[in-house]
Structures are given as structure tokens and as C-alpha cells.
Amino acid sequence: MAALSRRSLFAGACAVVALGSSEVPAAANAAVKKIAGGRLSVNLKAVPALSNVGGATRIGSIKGMPVGIARTGTSKYVAFSLRCPHQGITVGRTENGWVCSAHLSEFEPDGDLVLGPATTGLAPVPIKVSRGVATIG
Ligand code: FES
């Protein structure tokens, strides 16, 4: 039964990935600037996916590493690598969080581990927020 459930989830995840979730959404793209050291500067109010607590999206890449961001509170955000901690495949966004298409590890929107084979959540990336702008990396 669990295998059937995972298979169903995988099919849904593939549909999401096929729609281009590995790309940075255009709306988020306009809100993101590369700054010194390859870091990212993000105008948080200009990212629709972060308009509500619980929202998350891929926000860009830092030195080739795909990075996600999630809103965890009214003014709290976390950033994390989108490389699966199991074997490094880039995870994709789903309705409920993130999923790795390689072996179906699942993660919460904020990167916490839900289901292995990964044994940890998505690796945190430093983030500082000041006056509605996040500096990531
Ligand atoms: S590489 Fe992601 S679950 Fe194996």
C-alpha cells in the first residue's frame, strides 16, 4: 500500500517537474539579483510564492547550487540547497513540499525531511532579512 502511495506521489511530482518547477519562476526572477560573492538579493514582497506563511519556491542558484526559500513565519524565512542530501539530485517543488525524482525522498516546504531514503533535510543556506530584502548565501 505504501508503494502505491509513493508511486502516485511520484506521478504527480513528475507532472510538476514537467511543468518546469526546476526553473526559477519568472515572477521570482525579476525580484532576484546576483550580488558580490555569488550571493542572491531577493525583494521578498515581489515573490508571489512567499506572500503567505508556508510558501516556498526555487529562488535561483549560488555557485551552481540550486537554492530554495520558504516563508516560515510573518517575517521569518529560511533558505536551503535544493540538492537532495541522498545523492545530490535536484529536488522539485510539489503541492506539499519538495520531492526527489531519483528515489522519492520527500521534504517539507521549509526543507525538513519527511520521507527517505535521505536521512536529513535539505541543507540550510545562510539567509539574512532586512527591510524586506533577503540576502542569501
Ligand atoms: S538522490 Fe534523492 S532520494 Fe536518492
Identify the pLDDT of residue 108: 98
Tell me, using a 6 A CB cutoff, whether residue 103 lines ligand 1. yes
Identify the pLDDT of residue 18: 38
Domain range for 53? 2-136
Q: Which residue has its alpha carbon closest to ligand 1 atom 3?
A: 103
Domain CATH number, residue 113 = 2.102.10.10
Tell me, using a 6 A CB cutoff, whether residue 100 lines ligand 1. yes
Identify the pLDDT of residue 30: 78
Gap between the Cα atoms of 25 and 27, Å rounded: 5
Total domains, the chain: 1
Three cell numbers, residue 58: 526555487
- Across the range 6-21, mean pLDDT stands at 42
Q: Which residue has its alpha carbon closest to ligand 1 atom 1?
A: 87
Q: Work out which ligand 1 atom sits closest to the CA atom of 105.
A: 3
pTM score of the predicted model: 0.81
